[in-house]
Chains A and B, each alone.
Chain A
């Protein structure tokens, strides 16, 4: 039973990684990151049930709070990026190219 939850968590996480790696739209990348955070949350909660401890629940709540704050910041950043280049394609932002 536990294994099913953990498998789901891993699948969600991998989907998130794939999203970050393969998508070029900033919003999609951002959603993929949220997906990864929630995959982690699922794992926390699952393992908290397994060990019958509250630590995992606390951490899950914590992650949700951080994710909310991060969403507020990230959306502001996205708006600035759009103002700057007029596009939301991540390939446009390649200032670190060596």
Chain B
């Protein structure tokens, strides 16, 4: 039973309106007198907060229905209709999208509020809030869209905003290059996504191209087409959600302001790929082979980026690689058909990673844009709130019970083990240990020990309330979000999974409590080993180690960027050069040039007719008229 709900349309429209208003105000005032910055901030926050209120309303509205009837739809207008393809701008709120809505709008609102403090000294305050609102609106379209096409609109919208905000400090050329890189790498992924959607339409799109119709027709998809669609859609996900081989843009994306990193490149946009796979669970569930590929790519990405994260020295780069690593976990989860576990990790990760990024932003703000962890140290006393909240975030990320990350990560690892993907489970456990290690390496180096840069330390101070209050709220989320989905062994009954069940096609594997306990004990052991190693090396204050051999190799990220440059970018540029120096001048321009040459030659011949004397033109006229008269006479048979 579908219910119509007009207010669904307002959820993305409110931030979009905010973007329009703030953007126009910014454009109108960028020449003359500036408006007070607070005004932009307040205008920018209204849309997200109202959207959050509506998201809560959606949640309770859905909760009022019986489990299998939890669908709210609203069709705004028919967008286009070509042949069998009938696409309307429609929105669908079901348990999956309502969960996404809740945390996207909540975390979006908190980060908007935080930004008022963080961006206080910025010249283009209005531009920043306009872009952030535009992003949030696009993200909500992505989440709420009732079919692949509408989702794609949001998908591209968030990509655009990501590009705009990465290159936000556009005075610096490196930032612009980072923005371009993110955009171009995403284009490669989007090609796969578009092809995937096209194949999906080709296969089963004729009877309506929205999720609900596709879901009922999913069994008509042939196996070959099914695996093609799954893999192509996953190519799109590797771009947007930074998986092997397209993960390279995300660490560079840290060039943007820190709230952007927290909102777009940690909590929301990069999880769009996971959301997409879960959304298409009705196809992925039929193609276990594609799921296994997704899971393996995910877990290998997790491993690779965890290795990179262990050796970075830029605080935001550490968090960026940790995000890539956690996204890998999520794909491992949805890959082994534990869609609710993957989405639950998206949910908890949004809290603790946004918290860690905002905390890092607070540190960077206090130290006047210092991002090198080896120039920090001992900030524990100077910034108590930031320290405590970041510690909660770090414990959640590292998977320490009872913090949220522990439950969600454990659910994924347990699902991998229970569904028989033993290799994925082993790698996952190793990565869990590495996660604990690099997280606490960062915490210990930044907050513990003695200050490494005395001058910066003396000037450091706790951030203003407008920044610390969002941190505290997120810390509460990072601490307690895990209890929403307690597994049976801890006395819960997977409430979030049960909530998501109507949207997803998944089967919970049933194993003995022994397997479940084994998974939990080994996860805790991995955390303990990672934590202990980090504590022994950095707990008492350590000097910057000199990187050599493998460490240097890992610090330089296995030279993947350089390899891509040589293998892909350079040949591409070479082809471009060949085309511009050989193909275009000779092959495509050749015929055109020959034609112009022909006209020139004809002109040279005919110019002798044009002598310029009036008398001669009179002769031409007489000759012409005589010939015409002659012809006329002949045709009239005179």
Name A residues whose Cβ lies closer than 8 Å to a Cβ of B. Answer: 17, 20-22, 24, 29, 90-91, 93-98
B224 at the interface (CB under 8 A from A): no
In the complex, which of the residues B609, B613, B622 has the most CB atoms of chain A within 10 Å of its own CB atom? B613
Q: Could you tell me if A93 and B615 are in contact, using CB atoms closer than 8 angstroms? A: no
B514 at the interface (CB under 8 A from A): no
Q: Could you tell me if B622 and A96 are in contact, using CB atoms closer than 8 angstroms? A: no
Mark B610-629 against chain A: 1 for CB-CB distance below 8 A, else 0.
11111101110010000000
User: Which chain B residues lie closer than 8 Å to A97 at the CB level?
Assistant: 610-612
Q: Could you tell me if A96 and B612 are in contact, using CB atoms closer than 8 angstroms? A: yes
User: Which chain A residues lie closer than 8 Å to B618 at the CB level?
Assistant: 17, 20-21
Least Cβ distance of B607 to chain A in Å?
3
B490 at the interface (CB under 8 A from A): no
Query: Given the complex of chains A and B, what is the CA–CA distance between A90 and B618 in angstroms?
Result: 12
User: Which chain A residues lie closer than 8 Å to B612 at the CB level?
Assistant: 93-98
Complex A-B: 30 CB contacts under 8 Å = A17-B618, A17-B622, A20-B615, A20-B618, A21-B615, A21-B618, A21-B619, A21-B622, A22-B615, A24-B615, A29-B614, A29-B615, A90-B613, A90-B614, A90-B615, A91-B613, A93-B612, A93-B614, A94-B613, A95-B612, A96-B610, A96-B612, A97-B610, A97-B612, A98-B606, A98-B607, A98-B608, A98-B609, A98-B611, A98-B612
Least Cβ distance of A21 to chain B in Å?
5
Q: Which residue of B lies closest to A95 (CB)?
A: B612
Least Cβ distance of B617 to chain A in Å?
8
Query: Given the complex of chains A and B, what is the CA–CA distance between A77 and B638 in angstroms?
Result: 42
User: Which chain B residues lie closer than 8 Å to A90 at the CB level?
Assistant: 613-615
Which 6 A-B pairs rank lowest in CB-CB distance, beginning with the nearest? A97-B612, A94-B612, A98-B610, A98-B607, A96-B612, A20-B618
Least Cβ distance of A14 to chain B in Å?
10
Residue tally, chain B, CB below 8 Å to A: 14
Q: Which residue of B lies closest to A93 (CB)?
A: B614
Q: Which residue of B lies closest to A26 (CB)?
A: B614
Q: Which residue of A lies closest to B625 (CB)?
A: A17
Q: A17-B622, A21-B622 are in contact. Are A94 and B611 (CB under 8 A)?
A: yes
User: Which chain B residues lie closer than 8 Å to A24 at the CB level?
Assistant: 615
Mark B387-402 against chain A: 1 for CB-CB distance below 8 A, else 0.
0000000000000000
Query: Given the complex of chains A and B, what is the CA–CA distance between A93 and B505 in angstroms?
Result: 91
User: Which chain A residues lie closer than 8 Å to B610 at the CB level?
Assistant: 96-98
In the complex, which of the residues B609, B610, B612 has the most CB atoms of chain A within 10 Å of its own CB atom? B612
In the complex, which of the residues A20, A29, A90, A93 has the most CB atoms of chain B within 10 Å of its own CB atom? A20
Least Cβ distance of B384 to chain A in Å?
91
Least Cβ distance of A15 to chain B in Å?
13
Query: Given the complex of chains A and B, what is the CA–CA distance between A20 and B617 in angstroms?
Result: 10
Least Cβ distance of B536 to chain A in Å?
94
In the complex, which of the residues A22, A29, A96 has the most CB atoms of chain B within 10 Å of its own CB atom? A96
Q: Which residue of B lies closest to A33 (CB)?
A: B618
Query: Given the complex of chains A and B, what is the CA–CA distance between A95 and B609 in angstroms?
Result: 14
Q: Which residue of A lies closest to B614 (CB)?
A: A90
Least Cβ distance of B455 to chain A in Å?
81
For residues 573 through 627 of chain B, which have their beta carbon under 8 Å from a beta carbon of chain A? 606-615, 617-619, 622
Q: Which residue of A lies closest to B608 (CB)?
A: A98
Q: Which residue of B lies closest to A92 (CB)?
A: B613
User: Which chain B residues lie closer than 8 Å to A98 at the CB level?
Assistant: 606-612
User: Which chain B residues lie closer than 8 Å to A93 at the CB level?
Assistant: 612, 614
Query: Given the complex of chains A and B, what is the CA–CA distance between A95 and B612 in angstroms?
Result: 6
Query: Given the complex of chains A and B, what is the CA–CA distance between A98 and B606 in angstroms?
Result: 8
Least Cβ distance of B608 to chain A in Å?
7
Q: Which residue of A lies closest to B617 (CB)?
A: A96
Q: Which residue of A lies closest to B619 (CB)?
A: A21
Query: Given the complex of chains A and B, what is the CA–CA distance between A65 and B265 in angstroms?
Result: 87
Least Cβ distance of A50 to chain B in Å?
17
Query: Given the complex of chains A and B, what is the CA–CA distance between A91 and B622 in angstroms?
Result: 19
User: Which chain A residues lie closer than 8 Å to B611 at the CB level?
Assistant: 94, 97-98
Query: Given the complex of chains A and B, what is the CA–CA distance between A22 and B607 in angstroms?
Result: 22
Least Cβ distance of A34 to chain B in Å?
15
User: Which chain B residues lie closer than 8 Å to A17 at the CB level?
Assistant: 618, 622
User: Which chain A residues lie closer than 8 Å to B609 at the CB level?
Assistant: 98
Query: Given the complex of chains A and B, what is the CA–CA distance between A98 and B604 in angstroms?
Result: 9
Query: Given the complex of chains A and B, what is the CA–CA distance between A90 and B616 in angstroms?
Result: 11
Query: Given the complex of chains A and B, what is the CA–CA distance between A21 and B623 in angstroms?
Result: 12
Least Cβ distance of B599 to chain A in Å?
14
User: Which chain A residues lie closer than 8 Å to B607 at the CB level?
Assistant: 98
User: Which chain B residues lie closer than 8 Å to A91 at the CB level?
Assistant: 613
Least Cβ distance of A90 to chain B in Å?
5
User: Which chain A residues lie closer than 8 Å to B617 at the CB level?
Assistant: 96
User: Which chain B residues lie closer than 8 Å to A21 at the CB level?
Assistant: 615, 618-619, 622
Query: Given the complex of chains A and B, what is the CA–CA distance between A86 and B244 in angstroms?
Result: 86
Query: Given the complex of chains A and B, what is the CA–CA distance between A90 and B615 in angstroms?
Result: 8
Q: Which residue of B lies closest to A20 (CB)?
A: B618
User: Which chain A residues lie closer than 8 Å to B622 at the CB level?
Assistant: 17, 21
Query: Given the complex of chains A and B, what is the CA–CA distance between A94 and B622 in angstroms?
Result: 19
Q: Which residue of A lies closest to B603 (CB)?
A: A98
For residues 151 through 172 of chain B, which have their beta carbon under 8 Å from a beta carbon of chain A? none
Least Cβ distance of A91 to chain B in Å?
6
Query: Given the complex of chains A and B, what is the CA–CA distance between A37 and B617 in angstroms?
Result: 19
Query: Given the complex of chains A and B, what is the CA–CA distance between A17 and B619 in angstroms?
Result: 9
User: Which chain A residues lie closer than 8 Å to B608 at the CB level?
Assistant: 98
Query: Given the complex of chains A and B, what is the CA–CA distance between A96 and B617 in angstroms?
Result: 10
Least Cβ distance of A24 to chain B in Å?
7
User: Which chain B residues lie closer than 8 Å to A29 at the CB level?
Assistant: 614-615
Mark B321-341 against chain A: 1 for CB-CB distance below 8 A, else 0.
000000000000000000000
Query: Given the complex of chains A and B, what is the CA–CA distance between A20 and B615 in angstroms?
Result: 6
A21-B622, A91-B613, A94-B612 known, 11 other contacts, Cβ within 8 Å: A29-B615, A90-B614, A90-B615, A93-B612, A94-B611, A95-B612, A97-B610, A97-B611, A97-B612, A98-B611, A98-B612
Query: Given the complex of chains A and B, what is the CA–CA distance between A44 and B622 in angstroms?
Result: 20
Least Cβ distance of A16 to chain B in Å?
10
Query: Given the complex of chains A and B, what is the CA–CA distance between A20 and B618 in angstroms?
Result: 7
Q: Which residue of B lies closest to A94 (CB)?
A: B612
Query: Given the complex of chains A and B, what is the CA–CA distance between A30 and B617 in angstroms?
Result: 15
Query: Given the complex of chains A and B, what is the CA–CA distance between A21 and B615 in angstroms?
Result: 5
User: Which chain A residues lie closer than 8 Å to B613 at the CB level?
Assistant: 90-91, 94
